[in-house]
Amino acid sequence: MAETKSDPDKLSRLDADLEIMDAHAGEMAEVEESIQESMKKRDREYKDSHLHSVPKGKKHRR
């Protein structure tokens, strides 16, 4: 495994990014929730259109 060296510039950039994320935690949570809701909706629509499209007469025929 390659050894990673800590670069002060990379660490300061990471600290700055974390501060931004902490400052906007509420907005990030709202965006994440809306993304998850849209993914659930899209998944539900896909399943409804692809998995429930078998006519009832053929559904349980073997």
Higher pLDDT, 13 or 59: 13
pLDDT of residue 50: 78
State how far the Cα of 18 lies from the Cα of 22, in Å rounded to an integer.
Answer: 6
Read off the amino acid at residue 54.
Answer: V
Give me the amino acid identity at 24.
H
Q: 29 and 22 in contact (C-beta within 8 Å)?
A: no
pLDDT tens-digit map of 10-47? 999 999 999 999 999 999 999 999 999 999 999 999 88
Whether the pLDDT of residue 2 is over 60: the answer is no
DSSP, res 1: -
Residue whose pair of structure tokens reads 């509420």 in the numeric block: 26
Model confidence at 1, in pLDDT bands (50, 70, 90)? very low
